[in-house]
Amino acid sequence: MSISPVLQVEDLRIDFQNDAQSLPVLRGLSYSLPAGKVLAVVGESGSGKTVHALSLLRLLPAAGRISGGKILYKGKDLLTLSGKELRQVRGQKIAMIFQDPAASLNPVLTIGDQLCETLQAHRKLTKEQARKEAVKLLEKVGIADAEKRIAEYPFQFSGGMCQRVMIAMALALSPDILIADEPTTALDVTIQAQIIRLIKELQQREKMAVIFITHNLALASQVADEVLVLYGGMCMEQAPAKELFSQPKHPYTQGLLASLASLKTRSERLPAIAGQPPLPGEIMIGCPFVPRCPHAKEKCRQSLPSLTKRGEHAVRCFREDKP
Amino acid sequence: MTACVEIKNLYKTYHRRKWLFGAGEAVEVLKDVTLSLPENRVLGLVGESGCGKSTLCKVLLGIEKPTSGTVVVQGQDVPQATKAQLKKMRRVMQVIYQDPYGSLDPRMTVRQLLSEPLDIHKLYLNKNERNKFLEELVQSVGLSPEHLNRYPHEFSGGQRQRISIARALALDPRVLVADEPVSALDISVQAQILNLLRDIKRTRKLTILFVTHDFAVARFLCDDIAVMYQGRIMEKAPAEQLLAHPQHPYTQTLLSAVPEVGKSLASEPEEKAIGSSAGMGCPFAPRCAKATDVCRQQIPTLLETSPGHWCACACLTQGEKNDLKS
């Protein structure tokens, strides 16, 4: 790729401490995010997608520990930064929005207070300047009548509007990277479409890179340039979005895509993937998908296939190793 | 086809206070809802959050009393039913909820959870008979008999939803109310539960009210679909017909917003910013690009626009039918 990566994750490993044992939740994740591109990280609950996102800003809960790997932001390893240096990165270089917008806002402060707080914490602005900036930001994310609404409280905003405020806050310091962790899961479809359009539009205008975390394959196919499929804490497949959805190679990706109910055709039966996804931290020797895989062989049970890259398409499956 | 469930002109109003000593404010959650479920068919009720889907389920189940209107399930008037009659109703009509974590008592084993309805209705009192029944019941939802002695926390979300389904089926009901039964599940597990629901509908000849916000899921499972918005039924038709030729602008807006693999991001629809409440007229008028003064002043009635296809839109009755269809 010609564009230099703005973020590089190398062999990232995260363990969760549980009583006596430590459970591997993320087991060696590597990718690079080119500037101005959208990477979708797709996975089911327990796949490690949210933990991975939190670790990028070192926001893991106390039980979580990064046990190995590197997170390079423009060549600088975020894992070695001091608290003060980290604060320079958070918000200014990498910003994040979360799933439940109403829970991410402080209910007793006005929208304006919260936006100004972010602005004043990072930039030398007077109260009046910060307020003007905040109004501009709200207008940018499509909130009508921003002058008036800035004095309102989060409960006076709908879910979609709250998410717009969160996006405004994330964009306040023009970050290079936006991490969006299931930003539309709590919203209705029509509102979801609006928010996705907004993120996409701002991403293109501000030339921002986005890590878009979702469980919704269809949504990933609409926003992403590149898609990474996580399962059991590992990358199973990674490819440019078009290629991944037209020619999925890993049996898990194939199974997921086949099992989606479609709007266009009515099928007699959905080809469901049997079994359950692994529990976070479940320890397996072989491929984590083995218990559910229609092509599983003895080899798959005993050793873990490596992530093999052909062109821009990387797959973790023994079936792909053969020429 | 005889109707198994008849809902007529149903209204439900809640009262809320803005502050402790303030005057009550009426919130109309269901407005003039008329629906009928023919026997052995699945009716999908689709709508966004807050549109009244779950309230309708509660009224249908007899958990909430309607403000006015009638609900008749297999000849029994639900809102008028006495406690004893309601208890009898439970053998006819059962429910599955969205959250399989919140709807199973964590201190009961699966055996206890499934036996409870049998105890209440005094069924299968012979121990051997009951055990045999429970084993068959869990097998019919894809679990095995040894699961009977476990607790809910030992199961994954999909398996818990199977337990909820088994519990609903324990009394061999005729009608099943399913309130978003798959939306809390992982995608790879959703398909399993949808297949299971389809199987039990066939083998047990159930009539199902299936509440969902997902059109793709509704298409797979439902024979008919009703679209709800702000407490009103906007459109109702056989599933295929509704998805192929949505007539109401709201249905069209909803459908175009559904993301699908291979479909590019829908462009900004011709939709106005959400204005103030609709006031007198069509609830969708403030968002509708085709809204006229008539829409803002008069509530459109649900009319049969083509056989089996009902739609509540003023445009359709004003000869603009073809324009909308295209």
Report pLDDT for B273. Answer: 47
pLDDT digits (tens, 9 = 90+) for B228-268: 999 999 999 999 999 999 999 999 999 988 888 877 776 66
Yes or no, beta carbons of A273 and B259 under 8 Å apart:
no
From residue A193, alpha-carbon distances to A197, B164, B254 in Å are 6, 33, 10
Yes or no, beta carbons of A189 and B258 under 8 Å apart:
yes
Measured from the Cβ of residue A271, the count of other Cβ atoms closer than 10 Å reads 14
Q: How many angstroms away from the CA of B88 is the closest CA of chain A?
A: 34
* Rounded Cα gap, residues B205 and B215, in angstroms: 23
In the three-class reduction of DSSP (H, G, I as helix; E, B as strand; rest coil), residue A211 is classed as strand
pLDDT digits (tens, 9 = 90+) for B165-214: 999 999 999 999 999 999 888 888 899 999 999 999 999 999 999 999 99
pTM: 0.87
The confidence band for B56, taking pLDDT boundaries of 50, 70 and 90, is very high
Yes or no, beta carbons of A221 and B262 under 8 Å apart:
yes
Average pLDDT for residues A244-259, to the nearest whole number? 94
ipTM of the complex: 0.83
Residues of A in contact with B223 (CB under 8 A): none
Yes or no, beta carbons of B265 and A261 under 8 Å apart:
no
User: Looking at the predicted structure, is the pLDDT value of residue A70 above 60?
Assistant: yes
* Rounded Cα gap, residues A296 and A301, in angstroms: 8
Residues of B in contact with A102 (CB under 8 A): none
* Rounded Cα gap, residues A98 and A1, in angstroms: 30
User: Looking at the predicted structure, is the pLDDT value of residue B289 above 70?
Assistant: yes
Report pLDDT for B269. Answer: 57
Nearest chain B residue to A278 by CA distance is B156
Residues of B in contact with A149 (CB under 8 A): none
C-alpha torsion angle, residues A291, A294, A299, A301 (rounded to 10): 0
Residues of A in contact with B258 (CB under 8 A): 189, 218, 263
What is the rounded average pLDDT for all residues in chain A? 91
User: Looking at the predicted structure, is the pLDDT value of residue B75 above 50?
Assistant: yes
Those residues whose C-beta lies under 8 Å from the C-beta of residue A14, and which sit 6 or more positions away, are A24, A25, A26, A48, A51, A52, A55, A60, A64, A65, A66, A67
Burial class from Cβ neighbours inside 10 Å (0-12, 13-18, 19+) for residue A205 reads: exposed
C-alpha torsion angle, residues A211, A212, A215, A219 (rounded to 10): -140
Beta bridge partners of A32: A8
Average pLDDT for residues A16-20, to the nearest whole number? 83
Interface check for B125 against chain A (CB to CB < 8 A): the answer is no
Tokens of B71: 């609900």
Report pLDDT for B276. Answer: 44
